[in-house]
């Protein structure tokens, strides 16, 4: 099935004012879906969805996933929920151990509880992550790789969410799609390596600090490719609980990302400084050094990434630099 054929007319997007969420909202609105966004704007911005705020098919609810009443209001009349609201930052778990538990596990539990109570909305698409695989020995890593041993609290919390979704689906008849995303890049992103490097270089165009040894090598996917993959998975999944890896088919290392960004910003003679990182070159504790997902399964539904990792990074850098230019 092609992702432009949509089988639902009313959708809730939790975290829809965020980076990936707002691009998903664009794709759904362009396909004539009635969209509700529930977001507490902790990481998201209203400007990300400003194009739709006055559209009668669009509803924005400022609310919190930690409050079941807010979720109930948002879920009213929806046939499917795309659950993106979360703490998306892998790094914070080492500093504050409660955030991933609350914003990811408890928030997801609250959503599933409200879905169970209301009973009308029985479809959920969840944004999980490549970090559930931990330091996989098999690269590219397929969906059935195991045992899953995440090395961050973020990865652990997302794996717990997947397990809750699976259990609720089997007990209460939900149909669920779990998307394990690689690194997603593009405009409106408020975190991640490209965002960090551009910020640092705007502050000091002569010197760039790289966390770790620069040899961390991962798959990057352009956000529009990601959204199309999520919609393809939502429409193409047949079973009750289906898991799809979503990423590109190659990797790019952090030093190459720095060089792409330096080039796109038109800078010269930037001194690159490596912190060396922790545990043999990781950027931070919990940073996976090599990540590449096996995407055979989602490709079987007819989806392909349009951009490879380096192209995605370059396009994202251009988008973010242009966005900054408009904001200044
Ligand atoms: N960006 C990536 O590379 C990537 C990779 C793998 C998985 N993911 C997952 O994709 C999803 C979206 O990530 P993103 O990069 O767009 O992050 P983001 O921070 O831009 O989006 C998350 C949104 O959720 C909202 N939110 C957070 N806590 C909330 C709460 N308690 N109640 C209501 N709203 C809340 C934030 O305000 C924000 O708008 C997340 O679940 C993230 O874990 C992202």
Q: Active site residue: 133, 154, 168, 244, which one? A: 154
The first and second tokens of residue 239, run together, are 């079973």
Give the residue, by CA position, lying nearest to ligand 1 atom 26: 85
Ligand 1 center to 85 CA (angstroms): 5
Pocket test for ligand 1, best of 20, 41, 69, 225 (most atoms within 8 A of CB): 20
Which two structure tokens, joined as six digits, stand for 122?
């029985």
State which of 22, 42, 101 you would mutate to test the pocket of ligand 1, scoring each by most atoms of that ligand within 8 A of its C-beta: 42
CATH architecture of 193-216+251-292+310-327: Alpha-Beta Complex (3.90)
What is the model's pLDDT at position 277? Answer: 83
Which CATH number is associated with domain 10-185+221-248+296-303? 3.40.50.720
Q: Could you please report the per-residue DSSP string of 166-222?
A: HHHHHHHT-EEEEEEE-EEE-TT--SSHHHHHHHHHHH-TTEEEESS-S--EE-EEE
pTM for the model:
0.97
Q: What is the pLDDT along the chain (328 residues), one digit of tens a residue?
A: 444 579 999 999 999 999 999 999 999 999 999 999 999 999 999 999 999 999 999 999 999 999 999 999 999 999 999 999 999 999 999 999 999 999 999 999 999 999 999 999 999 999 999 999 999 999 999 999 999 999 999 999 999 999 999 999 999 999 999 999 999 999 999 889 999 999 999 999 999 999 999 999 999 999 999 999 999 999 999 999 999 999 999 999 999 999 999 999 999 999 999 998 888 878 888 888 999 999 999 999 999 999 999 999 999 999 999 998 776 6
Is the CB–ligand 1 distance for residue 49 below 6 Å? no
**What is the pLDDT at residue 327?**
65
Domain limits, the chain:
10-185+221-248+296-303, 193-216+251-292+310-327
154 is catalytic: yes
pLDDT of residue 1: 42
For residue 2, the model assigns a pLDDT of: 47
């Amino acid at each position: 099935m092609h992702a432009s054929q949509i089988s639902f007319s009313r959708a809730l997007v939790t975290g829809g004012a965020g980076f990936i969420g707002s691009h998903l909202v664009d794709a759904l609105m362009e396909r004539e879906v009635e969209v509700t966004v529930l977001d507490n704007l902790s990481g998201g911005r209203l400007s990300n969805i400003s194009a739709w705020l006055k559209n009668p098919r669009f509803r924005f609810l400022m609310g919190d996933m930690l409050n079941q009443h807010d979720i109930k209001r948002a879920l009213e009349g929806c046939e499917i929920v795309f659950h993106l609201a979360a703490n998306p930052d892998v790094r914070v778990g080492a500093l504050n151990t409660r955030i991933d538990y609350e914003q990811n596990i408890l928030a997801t539990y609250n959503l599933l509880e409200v879905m169970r109570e209301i009973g009308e909305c029985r479809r959920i698409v969840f944004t999980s992550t490549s970090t559930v695989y931990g330091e996989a020995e098999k690269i590219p890593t397929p969906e059935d790789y195991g045992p899953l041993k995440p090395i961050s609290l973020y990865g652990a919390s997302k794996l717990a969410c997947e397990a809750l979704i699976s259990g609720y689906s089997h007990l209460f008849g939900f149909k669920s799609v779990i998307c394990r995303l690689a690194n997603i890049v593009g405009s409106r992103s408020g975190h991640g390596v490209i965002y960090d490097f551009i910020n640092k270089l705007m502050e000091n165009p002569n010197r760039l600090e790289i966390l770790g040894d620069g040899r961390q090598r991962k798959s990057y996917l352009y956000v529009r490719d990601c959204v199309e993959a999520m919609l393809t998975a939502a429409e193409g999944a047949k079973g009750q609980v289906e898991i799809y890896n979503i990423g590109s088919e190659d990797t790019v290392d952090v030093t190459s990302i720095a060089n792409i960004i330096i080039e796109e910003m038109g800078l010269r003679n930037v001194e690159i400084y490596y912190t060396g990182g922790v545990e043999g070159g990781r950027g931070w504790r919990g940073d996976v050094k090599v990540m590449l997902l096996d995407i055979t399964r989602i490709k079987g539904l007819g989806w392909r990434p349009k951009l490879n990792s380096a192209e995605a990074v370059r396009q994202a850098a251009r988008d973010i630099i242009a966005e900054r230019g408009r904001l200044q």
